[in-house]
A and B are shown apart, each in its own frame.
Chain A
Amino acid sequence: MPYLGGEETVRELRRALSNPNVQSDQLRYRNTILKVIRAMSQGVDMSGLFSEMVKACATVDVVQKKLVYVFLCSYAALNPELSLLVINTLRKDCQDPNPMVRSLALRNMTNLRLPSLVEYVEQPLAAGLRDRAACVRRVAVLGWAKLHNLQASSEIDAAVVNELYSLLRDPDPVVMVNCLRALEEILKDEGGVAINKPITHHLLNRLKECDIWGQCQVLRVLQRYRPQSEDELFDILSLLDASLVSPHPPIMAATLSLFLSLCSGQPAVSLAALERVRGPLLAACGSGSREMRFTALCHIQLLLRSIPGLMGAHYKRFFCGYAEPAYIKQRKMQVLVELVNDENVAMLLDELKGYCTDVNAETAQAAITAIGRIGRSYSDRCLEILTGLLGLKQDHITSAVVQTMRDLVWVCPQCSDTVCFALEGCEETLQDSQGRQALLWLLGVYGERVSSAPYTLEVFIDGVRSEASLGVKMELLTATMRLFLCRPAETQDMLGRLLHYCIEEETDMCVRDQALLYYRLLHCGIEETRKVLQGRRSDPSLGVLIGRPAEPVSQWARSFNTLEPLRQGSIETDGALNRLKQ
């Protein structure tokens, strides 16, 4: 940031701009102004040069005009009085024979964002709406929207609104789309443009003439329309059919969004539309650019909530390439989990096993979690893979595996035997607190089946003074108590030590209170303690993977083609699981 040279630069440029030699030589003048803009881009404060730039505005050189306007629009808010001087030049330019100059002047008048100028701007804007040249009309239409934005409280004259409505029939498609945008903004309080039958039909008929951005805008606005008869509905749908399979992902997404909102009362048609979009969505998933692939993947996830079998045959398209960025790989894995069925489960699990050893720790953890989710329906195979992964003895992998096993056991209690067997010896490789918490929970609940449980816990208890994580300490308390209830002889001694430490020496209040609670419970008697501590061990009703009822389309249709799908990072069910286990 060249703050050091700021003062100097401003002074130098002021000298140059006021120099009459520079002013007469067009090229030099223009270059000086270029330097001003460059410095402005870099963050240097150029507002001191405002008056000089105003003088520079009166020139025939269009390039120079454009540069000066860029400057003025940025600093006009700081100098309202001086900006008035510019208005005269601008108004003169609004009547120039060259349509480019007219549109430039009009656009910049509205970009100046000064409430005091509004009265001077309204008349040229109104004239601009009726201009001969289309480019001027486009700018004028959006100019009214900017004006409204500037002074949201003042009412835009009803005559203007009417004129904007009539300009929807303008022969130039961009003018028409700009009118839509302007009316949407101006009439926001009333719910936007009034979409009635004639307007809808007119817009649909001219959809083909618009470019990509125009089509997206029109399709978005039409979402509010409700067709009056079924015939009309099907007419509209057949008209939009070609856009549904458009090569441009934004148009395809916008059309689908419109279809879904129009057919909200007819689920069969919605589902048929989703089938049609499958091809283009797959093409978008394979597109060259990563961002488009990411967006397409997020939207496919939404679709799969309603038609789980939609991409079933194409599951291979979602295999991850080695060099793909982590965010794409993680989304692809989430999609793969949804697509699993009896035929492809072996192949899918093989693929996922390959990703578990990925260089990026997060991707590896996501792959292991994915295997865990598949394990709810195919527990044997998945457990085999997970146990194999434990053999690698790498800390982030072991941590993720233990957490996944804990989740799996909660949902499928029949796996508990295999899990208990596999837990032996894990504690050496676990480093992070999440993994250790998971291990302690498992040892606590299934302690009677794991032979080495008391010894593992003893290691933890001996090290509790240097333990930093709060969660691990709480879990350790609970686990030791539970183990005591089923194996009292081995654990009595260390339980005593632990409780003594937590009550006498521990500084954290949560841990101390928990320990006190347990101590008093023990005093009440073993039966009471057992009732409190040995709650539910599992909940098989949660999260069966296959055979889940498909959600109706209406639940997610509103958030299609917006930023919503891209924001959802992880899967919802895991959060629910964690909360239940406390």
Chain B
Amino acid sequence: MIGGLFIYNHKGEVLISRVYRDDIGRNAVDAFRVNVIHARQQVRSPVTNIARTSFFHVKRSNIWLAAVTKQNVNAAMVFEFLYKMCDVMTAYFGKISEENIKNNFVLIYELLDEILDFGYPQNSETGALKTFITQQGIKGQVSKTKEQSQITSQVTGQIGWRREGIKYRRNELFLDVLESVNLLMSPQGQVLSAHVSGRVVMKSYLSGMPECKFGMNDKIVIDKQGKGGASDDAGKSGKQSIAIDDCTFHQCVRLSKFDSERSISFIPPDGEYELMRYRTTKDIILPFRVIPLVREVGRTKLEVKVVIKSNFKPSLLAQKIEVRIPTPLNTSGVQVICMKGKAKYKASENAIVWKIKRMAGMKESQISAEIELLPTNDKKKWARPPISMNFEVPFAPSGLKVRYLKVFESKLNYSDHDVIKWVRYIGRSGIYETRC
């Protein structure tokens, strides 16, 4: 499997190196540095083959993580392992940067010891790792038998994701519906492709081993209920349902119940975790509509006018809106006029960046710019890159709404009403491009 794991900084210096198999020598470290990090041309592929050795790498800010192997392994598994490694490191010390790695040197070596043995990935759940890793302090001296049995039960127990005997004074849970809406629109205003990928993240602080049931406005469930009633549901306005293309759940959700009755029931892990991941492509509410208008005046001037329209309830506010309008490479000067927000021409990025702090629904804003071009005798025609947008809206663009989340704990004496529940929807832009 994985023969060695190396971590480099942006200059190519080795920060961490750990070799698991004999067939990887010290020269593998240098080979990767010379051929990939210091290579003149752009990164060609995330897998590099040098002398019958394969180097898989992932880059996080300016840190390179490389896994090396000589065997014919599952590529997807190695990448998933590298991501998991990054997640675990982030959970322990926050952002992955050179300074953090140098400060948490010991921790990382401990992690590498536990997570990869002889090149095979072992235990990698953050919760279970906490009992093994002695980060600071002088833990692990004499452990009482109770701790010992806890380790074994957590490691061998059926419910590996939640340990017994958790107690909180206040039982509460937070549900975050995080979505990322991706759009590709043609110059004529036609939607070329649009899809929303979302995740429901739950932070649960509940005592005992509670059973939870999660309900949302899933089309299939509503159709089933509708069939039980008399005539059609179309008359009942306002009950909007979403058709999910495919969704996948955390390990704790009982899939058999989902298949038969489409109900999501589970015993949640303690703390923060991702409950489900889903994808929709139909009936997406596109929060913003961008209408570009570009006019070339002779060969020295370009007039650009961009209108953005917000398409949601007037009572909601979108935030952190940023519109990037690309400009040609031979631009000499730009004059912009906009009524809302601030617009600046950034020569280093070849774009006009227009930032609006917040915008309510059903409103329209406009920016117009005059771009002066240097005369060139290049016959190159400027291929207009698309206009891209970033924003954050407080609703789910897919239309997903959480209907209920019920908690049942039979052994301890608190009921569903005693649990404090919070829900919030955050819709972000992914790749939101309009061609012009």
Residues in A lying within 8 Å of B, measured CB to CB:
26, 34, 37-38, 41-43, 60-63, 66-67, 70, 97-101, 107, 113, 132-135, 138-139, 142, 145-146, 149, 171-172, 174, 178, 181, 209, 211-213, 216-217, 220, 242, 245-250, 253-254, 279-280, 283-284, 286, 289-292, 294-296, 298, 316-317, 319, 321-323, 325-327, 354, 357-358, 360, 392-394, 561-564, 566-567
The contact string, 1 if C-beta is below 8 Å from chain A, for chain B 193-223, is 1010100000000000000000000000000
Contact of B121 among A213, A242, A360 (CB under 8 A): A213
Check A213 against B386 for contact (C-beta < 8 Å).
Answer: no
Check A319 against B192 for contact (C-beta < 8 Å).
Answer: yes
Check B109 against A67 for contact (C-beta < 8 Å).
Answer: yes
At the interface with chain A, which of B131-139, B264-272, B287-295, B302-310? B131-139
In the bound complex, residues from chain A placing their C-beta under 8 Å from that of B249 are 247
Given A41-B16, A63-B134, A294-B45; A213-B77 close (CB under 8 Å): yes
In the bound complex, residues from chain A placing their C-beta under 8 Å from that of B93 are none
Given A254-B74, A393-B379; A289-B246 close (CB under 8 Å): no
Check B80 against A249 for contact (C-beta < 8 Å).
Answer: yes
Residues from 90 to 114 in B contacting A, C-beta threshold 8 Å: 105-106, 109-110, 113
Check B49 against A392 for contact (C-beta < 8 Å).
Answer: no
Q: Give complex CA distance A177, B240 in Å.
A: 46
Contact of A172 among B46, B56, B110, B155 (CB under 8 A): B155
Residues from 104 to 150 in B contacting A, C-beta threshold 8 Å: 105-106, 109-110, 113, 117-118, 120-125, 132, 134, 138-143, 148
- Shortest Cβ distance from residue B29 to the other chain A in the assembled complex, whole angstroms: 8
User: Sorted from nearest, which 6 A-B pairs have the closest CB atoms?
Assistant: A247-B248, A213-B121, A250-B77, A357-B383, A291-B46, A250-B76
- Shortest Cβ distance from residue A213 to the other chain B in the assembled complex, whole angstroms: 4
Given A41-B17, A316-B192, A394-B380; A139-B79 close (CB under 8 Å): no
Check A146 against B76 for contact (C-beta < 8 Å).
Answer: no
Which chain B residue lies CB-closest to A567? B49
Check B433 against A322 for contact (C-beta < 8 Å).
Answer: yes
Q: Give complex CA distance A171, B153 in Å.
A: 11
In the bound complex, residues from chain B placing their C-beta under 8 Å from that of A211 are 123-125
Which chain B residue lies CB-closest to A394? B380
Check B42 against A220 for contact (C-beta < 8 Å).
Answer: no
Check A253 against B383 for contact (C-beta < 8 Å).
Answer: no
Check B433 against A250 for contact (C-beta < 8 Å).
Answer: no
Check B74 against A562 for contact (C-beta < 8 Å).
Answer: yes
Residues from 27 to 52 in B contacting A, C-beta threshold 8 Å: 42-47, 49
Given A100-B140, A286-B279; A249-B76 close (CB under 8 Å): yes
Q: Which of B16, B58, B117, B433 has the most CB of A within 10 A?
A: B117
Q: Give complex CA distance A393, B22 in Å.
A: 55
- Shortest Cβ distance from residue A220 to the other chain B in the assembled complex, whole angstroms: 7
Please tell me if B362 contacts chain A, counting CB pairs below 8 Å.
Answer: no
Q: Give complex CA distance A323, B388 in Å.
A: 11
In the bound complex, residues from chain A placing their C-beta under 8 Å from that of B160 are 209
Q: Which of B46, B118, B148, B192 has the most CB of A within 10 A?
A: B118
Please tell me if B73 contacts chain A, counting CB pairs below 8 Å.
Answer: yes
Q: Give complex CA distance A353, B159 in Å.
A: 54
Check A138 against B106 for contact (C-beta < 8 Å).
Answer: no
Check B15 against A41 for contact (C-beta < 8 Å).
Answer: yes
In the bound complex, residues from chain A placing their C-beta under 8 Å from that of B83 are 289
Describe A's contact surface by its main secondary structure: helix
Which chain A residue lies CB-closest to B75? A295
Q: Give complex CA distance A41, B17 in Å.
A: 6
Given A142-B120, A279-B246; A563-B47 close (CB under 8 Å): yes
In the bound complex, residues from chain B placing their C-beta under 8 Å from that of A284 are 76
In the bound complex, residues from chain A placing their C-beta under 8 Å from that of B246 are 245, 279-280, 283
Contact of A253 among B47, B74, B192, B279 (CB under 8 A): B74
Check A283 against B279 for contact (C-beta < 8 Å).
Answer: yes
Contact of A66 among B16, B72, B82, B113 (CB under 8 A): B113
Check A566 against B47 for contact (C-beta < 8 Å).
Answer: yes
In the bound complex, residues from chain A placing their C-beta under 8 Å from that of B44 are 326-327
How many chain-B residues does the 8 Å CB contact rule pick out? 78
- Shortest Cβ distance from residue B1 to the other chain A in the assembled complex, whole angstroms: 8
Given A63-B106, A247-B248, A563-B73; A107-B113 close (CB under 8 Å): yes
Q: Give complex CA distance A66, B80 in Å.
A: 27
- Shortest Cβ distance from residue B133 to the other chain A in the assembled complex, whole angstroms: 10
Which chain B residue lies CB-closest to A138? B122
Given A213-B120, A294-B45; A98-B380 close (CB under 8 Å): no
Given A99-B151, A133-B148, A133-B151; A61-B54 close (CB under 8 Å): no
Check B80 against A212 for contact (C-beta < 8 Å).
Answer: yes
Q: Which of B16, B249, B431 has the most CB of A within 10 A?
A: B431
In the bound complex, residues from chain A placing their C-beta under 8 Å from that of B195 are 286, 317
In the bound complex, residues from chain B placing their C-beta under 8 Å from that of A107 are 113, 117
Given A134-B152, A247-B277; A139-B117 close (CB under 8 Å): yes
Q: Give complex CA distance A138, B151 in Å.
A: 14
Please tell me if B245 contacts chain A, counting CB pairs below 8 Å.
Answer: yes
Contact of B152 among A101, A133, A394 (CB under 8 A): A133
Check A149 against B22 for contact (C-beta < 8 Å).
Answer: yes
- Shortest Cβ distance from residue B196 to the other chain A in the assembled complex, whole angstroms: 10
Check B193 against A319 for contact (C-beta < 8 Å).
Answer: yes
Which chain A residue lies CB-closest to B180? A288
- Shortest Cβ distance from residue A115 to the other chain B in the assembled complex, whole angstroms: 12
Q: Give complex CA distance A280, B76 in Å.
A: 13
- Shortest Cβ distance from residue A185 to the other chain B in the assembled complex, whole angstroms: 9
Q: Give complex CA distance A181, B119 in Å.
A: 11
Which chain B residue lies CB-closest to A30? B106
Check A322 against B385 for contact (C-beta < 8 Å).
Answer: yes
Which chain B residue lies CB-closest to A358? B383
In the bound complex, residues from chain B placing their C-beta under 8 Å from that of A60 are 141
Please tell me if B184 contacts chain A, counting CB pairs below 8 Å.
Answer: yes
In the bound complex, residues from chain B placing their C-beta under 8 Å from that of A134 are 152, 155-156
In the bound complex, residues from chain A placing their C-beta under 8 Å from that of B105 are 34, 37-38
Check A392 against B79 for contact (C-beta < 8 Å).
Answer: no
Please tell me if B13 contacts chain A, counting CB pairs below 8 Å.
Answer: yes
Given A392-B381, A563-B54; A321-B156 close (CB under 8 Å): no
Check A279 against B193 for contact (C-beta < 8 Å).
Answer: no
Contact of A209 among B21, B79, B158, B248 (CB under 8 A): B158
Check A295 against B151 for contact (C-beta < 8 Å).
Answer: no
Q: Give complex CA distance A280, B278 in Å.
A: 11
Contact of B79 among A66, A181, A292, A360 (CB under 8 A): A292
In the bound complex, residues from chain A placing their C-beta under 8 Å from that of B383 are 354, 357-358
Q: Which of B49, B106, B151 has the most CB of A within 10 A?
A: B106
In the bound complex, residues from chain B placing their C-beta under 8 Å from that of A567 are 47, 49
Check B138 against A61 for contact (C-beta < 8 Å).
Answer: yes
In the bound complex, residues from chain B placing their C-beta under 8 Å from that of A321 are 184, 431, 433
Contact of B46 among A38, A294, A317 (CB under 8 A): A294
Q: Give complex CA distance A217, B255 in Å.
A: 22
Check A322 against B79 for contact (C-beta < 8 Å).
Answer: no
Given A279-B245, A325-B43, A566-B47; A291-B379 close (CB under 8 Å): no
Q: Which of A26, A250, A393 has the most CB of B within 10 A?
A: A250
Check A213 against B122 for contact (C-beta < 8 Å).
Answer: yes
Check B74 against A98 for contact (C-beta < 8 Å).
Answer: no
Contact of A246 among B14, B77, B248, B433 (CB under 8 A): B248
Contact of A135 among B77, B80, B155, B158 (CB under 8 A): B155
Q: Give complex CA distance A100, B128 in Å.
A: 13
Contact of A242 among B21, B81, B113, B255 (CB under 8 A): B255
In the bound complex, residues from chain B placing their C-beta under 8 Å from that of A43 are 14
Given A134-B155, A134-B156, A247-B277; A220-B79 close (CB under 8 Å): no
Check A62 against B73 for contact (C-beta < 8 Å).
Answer: no
Contact of B381 among A213, A292, A357 (CB under 8 A): A357
In the bound complex, residues from chain A placing their C-beta under 8 Å from that of B121 are 212-213
- Shortest Cβ distance from residue B409 to the other chain A in the assembled complex, whole angstroms: 25
Q: Give complex CA distance A248, B249 in Å.
A: 10
In the bound complex, residues from chain B placing their C-beta under 8 Å from that of A97 are 142-143
